[in-house]
């Protein structure tokens, strides 16, 4: 699945949209609060990917942690030539301090 930041929706393998439904705060066992966003697609009936994609026969629902989205954005930036160069530069600075 891919995320469309401009539209705030996820796109599945069949190129269907999982639109934003709601957001909630979740507290972990150690007291850390994380924000989870819920996205849903209601056009899953008859999809050829349905059995591999969802257990529900009519809808696909995903819950995404904002931290997960931030990590994905960082990975994407690091995968660019400019991002990789910046990372190497920072890694070299840390190695020189040790």
Cβ pair 45, 51 in contact under 8 A: no
Angle, in degrees to the nearest 10, between helices 66-78 and 81-97: 90
Beta pairing class for 60-65 and 17-27: unpaired
Cβ-in-10-Å burial (0-12, 13-18, 19+) of 47 comes to middle
What integer pLDDT is reported at residue 41 of this predicted model?
Answer: 92
What integer pLDDT is reported at residue 97 of this predicted model?
Answer: 59
pLDDT per residue as tens, the chain (98 positions): 888 888 989 998 889 999 999 999 988 888 878 888 999 998 888 888 888 888 887 889 999 887 766 667 777 877 888 878 877 777 765 556 55
């Amino acid at each position: 699945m891919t995320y469309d930041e401009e539209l705030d929706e996820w796109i599945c393998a069949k190129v269907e949209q999982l639109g934003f439904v709601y957001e909630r705060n979740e507290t972990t066992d150690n007291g850390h609060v994380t924000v989870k966003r819920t996205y849903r697609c209601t056009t899953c009936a008859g999809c050829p990917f349905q059995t591999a994609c969802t257990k529900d026969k009519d809808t696909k629902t995903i819950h995404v942690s904002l931290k997960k989205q931030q990590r994905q954005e960082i990975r994407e930036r690091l995968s660019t030539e400019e991002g990789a160069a910046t990372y190497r530069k920072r890694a070299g600075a840390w190695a020189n301090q040790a």
